[in-house]
Amino acid sequence: MGSGQWMVEKRSGLENDSFLKEHETPSESGCLSIIVLGASGDLAKKKTFPALYHLYRQGFLHPDEVHIFGYARTRISDDELRDRIRGYLGKEAEVVSKFLQLIKYVSGSYDTEDGFQLLDKEISQHEVSKNSAEGSSRRLFYLALPPSVYPTVCRMIRKCCMNKSDHGGWTRIVIEKPFGKDLESAENLSAHIGELFEEAQLFRIDHYLGKELVQNLLVLRFANRFFLPLWNRDNISNVQIVFRENFGTEGRGGYFDEYGIIRDIIQNHLLQILCLVAMEKPVSLKPEYIRDEKVKVLQSVLPIRDEDVVLGQYEGYRDDPTVPDQSNTPTFATVVLRIHNERWEGVPFILKAGKALNSSKAEIRVQFKDVPGDIFKCQKQGRNEFVIRLQPSEAMYMKLTVKQPGLEMSTVQSELDLSYMQRYQGVPIPEAYERLILDTIRGDQQHFVRRDELKAAWEIFTPLLHRIDNGEIKPKEYQPGSRGPVEADELLAKAGYVQTHGYIWIPPTL
Ligand code: NDP
Ligand code: BG6
């Protein structure tokens, strides 16, 4: 059996689902080179190489066909790179060292041809040594680099490192966010890269799209009769999409200050989730149909009003030596978006993200309207909410009112709880990067951001971002370890969110 077939077969074994198999990309074979550009960096070490390791360990990257290359300017040997990443991989020493042997490091600059010619030579040598059937090589370039170098690096890849086979194969480019800083810069970047590569070769990664519960959203919404009649303005009062981190920008202050929380989290991760929560049912699961529906949602978002925004900056943020003393960059933001369409008119979508807060979590909170004719006088106890906890402790729970057990007829808030740790004991939840790299190898773009989607996302936020950049809107100071500025809670209440007091969902433990 050819190793390419082997990979597809492995997948079939995992997914005993004929419907999904129907949507599988055609079998692709040939030698696979994965090239991590920026291999000396933080993302490569913490996310990219570990994701590749886990794919390898699970049999998705076969040593007979795969070789991994690291490329960066830093002058280190193969072994030095291996030592840098070893500690981030896993505990199975033998598997780790076999995986590390697949990695070769090439040092070179990002803007001259020499390094890329050397890289191409190394890849070609590997292809010749491994490629049984002449040609049909696959080259996956992962840009774990600062966005400032994307244009030159893409030009160099195009010039020096493309798959040269006449017998099939491909060259694909994975680009990390941020894709630009505003509409104009993103469009320039897209135009530049678009001249070099076809859209089908470009995989703009938003790792939130690889998270288990984000991937579950479409199944949940469109495979369950429960939700179909409820998921609209008649029943839903408001939707919150929340990201919180209980640590600051430690170690990334320089990068962060240039971007801020809206560009770092809201314009991409949270907005992508909003699309999946709000979009209409696609014609089928074909990636283009799904992305078409996401674009429609984005195009229906109304311009953001100043009164629908609260910005914050945590006290001490500017003490970071890489952050300017006068920085106006928000480390916290609540932004209320409104979707002008038949399903969502009048329903606020509250996007909230912050660093250095009192907890770390990401969740979607769909709050339903009050029950009309409240004969139990239980409205004060709280509304029905459907909560999707993306992390930590992946779960979906439905907050609802029940009779308090006992002789009295009184009511209490409780929940129907699908906690993954309990329900799917022992089933490992893959890392987002693992899935997305595998999707790239398979050529499945469903969970990647299309060019028009990116443009629509920047159209929503660019006017607000420019006002912040010009210092026209100032962030409020908040204490590290707090909930963020109090004004954010006031905005939440103004948008119609009714907080339940005295009820806390506690993730079950085993
Ligand atoms: P790093 O700052 O660690 O940069 C990666 C590598 O790029 C460095 O090791 C360095 O390699 C090279 N590099 C750094 N600065 C420059 C520069 N000014 N010009 C040319 N080369 C440079 O970045 P990260 O690994 O943190 O991030 C990479 C990409 O991934 C970025 O786009 C980032 O926004 C994105 N990202 C990062 C996340 C993270 O957790 N780190 C999370 C999500 C996205 P050398 O000097 O050896 O060439
Ligand atoms: C990245 C942001 O995209 O996502 C970081 O640049 C943030 O600032 C990170 O910490 C959060 O990712 P996760 O998967 O840990 O929630």
| Same-domain status, 244 and 333 | yes
Inside any domain, residue 399: no
Please check the confidence at residue 9 and state whether its pLDDT lies above 80.
no
Which of 152, 176, 200 is a domain's end point?
Answer: 176
| pLDDT at residue 22 in the model | 37
Range with the poorest average pLDDT among 26-40, 65-79, 287-301, 482-496: 26-40
As a whole number of angstroms, the distance between CA 174 and CA 141 comes to 6
What is the best residue among 241, 247, 269, 359 to mutate for testing ligand 2's pocket, by most ligand atoms within 8 Å of CB? Answer: 269
- What pLDDT, on the 0 to 100 scale, is given for residue 133? 53
Task: Provide the pLDDT confidence category of residue 1 given band limits of 50, 70 and 90.
Answer: very low
Catalytic residues: 269
* Residues 97 and 239 grouped into a single domain: no
* 100 belongs to a structural domain: yes
Are 278 and 329 contained in the same domain? yes
- Whether 419 is covered by a domain: the verdict is no
Spatial separation of the C-alpha atoms in residues 416 and 388, rounded to whole Å: 12
Question: How far does the centroid of ligand 1 lie from the alpha carbon of residue 371, in Å?
Answer: 51
Give, using CA atoms, the residue closest to atom 6 of ligand 2: 264
Query: Same domain for 110 and 39?
Result: yes
Q: Considering the domain boundaries, does residue 438 fall inside one?
A: no
Contacts of 168 (CB under 8 A, 6+ apart): 28, 30, 135, 136
Residue 4 pLDDT > 50: no
CATH code: domain of residue 458: 3.30.360.10
CATH classification at residue 54: 3.40.50.720
Q: What percent of the chain has pLDDT over 70?
A: 93
Q: How many distinct structural domains can be found in the chain?
A: 2
Please check whether residues 155 and 218 belong to one and the same domain: no
136 — pLDDT class (breaks 50, 70, 90): low
Residue-level pLDDT at 193: 96
Q: Assign 131 a pLDDT band (cuts: 50, 70, 90).
A: low
- In 3D space, the residue among 334, 335, 348, 337 whose CA is nearest the CA of residue 233 turns out to be 348
> Mean pLDDT for the chain?
91
Tell me the ligand closest to 46's alpha carbon: 1
Note the pTM of the prediction, 2 decimals. Answer: 0.92
The model's confidence at residue 80, banded by pLDDT at 50, 70 and 90, is very high
**What would the mean pLDDT of 270-292 be, rounded to a whole number?**
97
216/310 same-domain check:
yes
State CA 23 to chain mean position distance: 22
| Residue 440 within a domain | no
pLDDT by residue (tens digit) across 374-415? 898 877 788 999 999 999 999 999 999 999 999 998 999 999
**Domain check: are 167 and 221 in the same one?**
no
Per-residue confidence band for 28, with pLDDT thresholds at 50, 70 and 90: low
First CA to last CA across the chain, in angstroms?
Answer: 42
Q: Are residues 112 and 228 in the same domain?
A: no
Among 176, 197, 225, identify where a domain stops.
176
Q: pLDDT per residue over 143-170, tens digit each? A: 999 999 999 999 999 999 998 776 678 9
In angstroms, the Cα distances linking 287 to 23, 25, 450 are: 10, 11, 10
| Ligand having the closest approach to the CA of 246 | 2
Task: Tell me: do 223 and 317 sit in the same domain.
Answer: yes
Residue 376 counted as domain residue: no
Cβ of 264 below 6 Å from ligand 2: yes
On whether both 132 and 228 belong to a single domain, the answer is no
Q: Which domain holds residue 227?
A: 210-369+449-495
Please tell me the residue having the least CA distance from ligand 2 atom 13: 208
Whether residue 287 is found in the same domain as residue 360: yes
What does the pLDDT read at residue 12?
34
pLDDT on residue 6: 34
pLDDT tops 80 at residue 40: yes
Residues 356 and 485 both lie in one domain = yes
Q: SS in 3 state form for 312-379?
A: EEECCHHHCCCCCCCCCCCCEEEEEEEECCCCCCCCEEEEEEECCECCCEEEEEEEECCCCCCCCCCH
Decide if 465 is inside a domain: yes
